[in-house]
């Protein structure tokens, strides 16, 4: 599981790590963007919450994630990006995983100044919803070739609200997890390649203890 503030690069790192580990990258953000794109009543509700920088109801997200973790491709492992976002969600996840191997938690740390700098320039694919990589300059999505556009939830006033929400509701997860032997922390202000290498080393170390 990847933990960190908006703009820390969780999605980028999850996509990179899932391949060598041969496990599915389970992104609640991507699931929610699909709902928004669908234009259903739930999608419209999700869109309004995202645009004002809020968090989706614990019950809704928990049901979505639980169903996803029960699919066959997640039986041997999975990489969570965007869940849990609150301590109650973390407790619910622990309940799901009672009969599975201990959850490895990676915190990607990033300062507020760096968050604002990154998100001001971040782009997202208009077709598949994948974020452009923070330290590379592309005109189009490297996955599907779609046009890159600014994210509606990266406007500065929305970002500041998202940071506030993160500190209020998600940052307490650090306290919830940090005493566990399978918790590790990496500095997220480095280039994406460096962050990937630090995560690989940190995870290998905590899983060998």
Tokens 């899932």 belong to residue: 18
Options 47, 68, 118, 162, the catalytic residue: 162
Q: Which of 33, 151, 180, 201 is catalytic?
A: 151
Beta bridge partners of 124: 131, 149
10 belongs to the catalytic site: yes
Point out the catalytic residue in the list 10, 33, 68, 118. Answer: 10
Q: What sign has the CA pseudo-torsion 47, 134, 168, 60? A: positive
Alpha-carbon distance of 105 to 180, in angstroms, equals: 9
Which one from 33, 47, 118, 122 is the annotated catalytic residue?
122
91 is catalytic: no
- Cα separation of 162 and 11, whole Å? 16
Is residue 41 classed exposed, middle or buried when 0-12, 13-18 and 19+ CB atoms within 10 A define those classes? exposed
Mark whether 122 is an active-site residue.
Answer: yes
The residue from 16, 33, 68, 85 that is catalytic is: 85
For this structure, is 118 an active site residue? no
The SS3 of residue 38 is helix
Cα 108 from Cα 4, distance rounded (Å): 5
**Distance, CA of 187 to CA of 110 (rounded, Å):** 7
Active site residue 151: yes
Judged on CB neighbours under 10 Å (0-12, 13-18, 19+), 114 is middle
Helical (H) or strand (E) element with 3: strand 2-3
> Residue 105 is encoded by which pair of tokens?
């938690």
Question: Among all residues, which ones are annotated catalytic?
Answer: 10, 85, 122, 151, 162
């Amino acid at each position: 599981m990847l933990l960190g503030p908006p703009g820390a690069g969780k999605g980028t790192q999850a996509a990179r790590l899932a391949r060598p580990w041969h496990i599915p990258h389970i992104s609640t953000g991507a699931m929610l963007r699909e709902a928004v794109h669908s234009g259903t009543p739930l999608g419209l509700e999700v869109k309004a919450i995202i645009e004002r920088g809020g968090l989706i109801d614990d019950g809704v997200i928990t049901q979505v994630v639980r169903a996803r973790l029960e699919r066959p491709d997640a039986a041997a492992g999975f990489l969570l990006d965007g869940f849990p976002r609150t301590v109650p969600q973390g407790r619910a996840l622990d309940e799901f995983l009672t009969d599975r191997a201990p959850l490895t938690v990676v915190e990607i740390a990033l300062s507020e100044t760096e968050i604002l700098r990154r998100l001001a320039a971040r782009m997202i694919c208009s077709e598949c919803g994948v974020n452009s990589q923070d330290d590379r300059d592309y005109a189009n999505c490297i996955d599907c070739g779609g046009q890159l556009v600014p994210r509606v939830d990266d406007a500065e006033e929305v970002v500041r609200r998202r940071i506030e929400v993160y500190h209020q509701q998600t940052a307490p997860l650090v306290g919830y997890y940090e005493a566990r032997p399978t918790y590790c922390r990496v500095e997220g202000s480095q280039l994406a390649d460096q962050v990937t290498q630090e995560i690989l080393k940190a995870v290998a170390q905590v899983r060998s203890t």
